[in-house]
């Protein structure tokens, strides 16, 4: 589970982003699979990841000796917060609805986890809280970065050589019910594909 969390899924995400920006096939799919997979991993197994419980030992009672109920609850809340934030990142990349809202929810939950974790580190200095804080700070900063990015950042990076298409998309976003703007955006996209 550790290799999946720290190496495999993040590397697939980075490769997917590179392929996405180069406008090669399957970049979108790699990003979706890796970010959604990472989101599910934190959502369902956050309590095990943060408490260093391996996948094989999740269902064994002795794995939880010395771990308080509050620590498990804190790990579950952190996992859910990171999961929501990762979905927000994915939605923001693809300009899907509610991307910013998911990012804001995830970051706000992580802020609460950060405050509680910071107080616990000062009082108890346990390695659990230090492990937790590394991820909370990393994902919190990532969340703030994506919140402050324009909705068109990834579109402009991907289609930087096609300003007509970017402008057509922006005009369509201003008036999504306008059929003429929709046709203009479709024509600009078809021209982009032909090149």
Which percentage of the chain shows pLDDT scores above 70?
100
Check if the beta carbon of residue 85 is closer than 8 Å to that of residue 102.
Answer: yes
List the one residue out of 108, 119, 130, 2 whose CA is nearest residue 55.
Answer: 2
- pLDDT of amino acid 82: 97
In terms of pLDDT, which residue wins out, 109 or 55? 109
Q: Give the chain's mean pLDDT.
A: 92
**What whole-number distance in Å separates Cα of residue 25 and Cα of residue 6?**
25
- CA atoms of 169 and 155, how far apart (whole Å): 9
Q: How far is CA 137 from CA 57, 76, 142, 177, in A?
A: 28, 17, 8, 41
Q: How confident is the model at residue 84, as a pLDDT?
A: 97
Contact 181, 175 (CB under 8 A): yes
Q: Exposed (0-12), middle (13-18) or buried (19+): which is 165, by Cβ within 10 Å?
A: buried
Query: Which tokens hold the place of 56?
Result: 């094989």
* Reported pTM: 0.91
Contact 51, 76 (CB under 8 A): no
pLDDT at 112: 95
pLDDT for the residue 147: 96
The phi-psi region of residue 53 (left if phi > 0; otherwise alpha if psi is between -120 and 50; otherwise beta) is beta
Q: Which two tokens stand for residue 24?
A: 């090669």
Q: Are 117 and 73 in contact (CB under 8 A)?
A: no
Domain coordinates in residue numbering, the chain: 2-58+67-150, 159-194
How many separate helices (H) and strands (E) can be counted in the chain? 9, 0
What pLDDT digit, counting tens, does each position of 67-96 carry?
A: 889 889 999 999 999 999 999 999 999 999
């Amino acid at each position: 589970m550790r290799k999946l969390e720290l190496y495999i899924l993040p590397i697939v995400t980075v490769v997917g982003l590179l392929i996405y920006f180069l406008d090669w096939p399957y970049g979108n799919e790699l990003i979706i699979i890796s970010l959604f997979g990472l989101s599910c991993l934190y959502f369902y197994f956050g309590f095990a990841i943060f408490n260093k419980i391996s996948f094989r030992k999740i269902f064994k009672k002795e794995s939880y000796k010395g771990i308080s109920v509050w620590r498990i609850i804190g790990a579950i809340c952190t996992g859910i917060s990171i999961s929501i934030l990762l979905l927000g990142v994915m939605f923001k990349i693809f300009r899907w609805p509610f991307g910013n809202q998911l990012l804001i929810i995830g970051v706000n939950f992580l802020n609460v986890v950060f405050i509680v974790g910071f107080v616990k580190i000062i009082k108890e200095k346990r390695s659990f809280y230090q492990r937790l804080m590394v991820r909370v700070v990393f994902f919190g900063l990532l969340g703030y970065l994506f919140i402050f990015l324009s909705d068109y950042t990834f579109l402009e990076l991907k289609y930087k050589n096609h300003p007509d298409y970017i402008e057509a998309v922006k005009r369509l976003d201003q008036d999504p019910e306008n059929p003429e703007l929709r046709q203009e955006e479709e024509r600009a996209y078809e021209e982009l594909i032909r090149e």
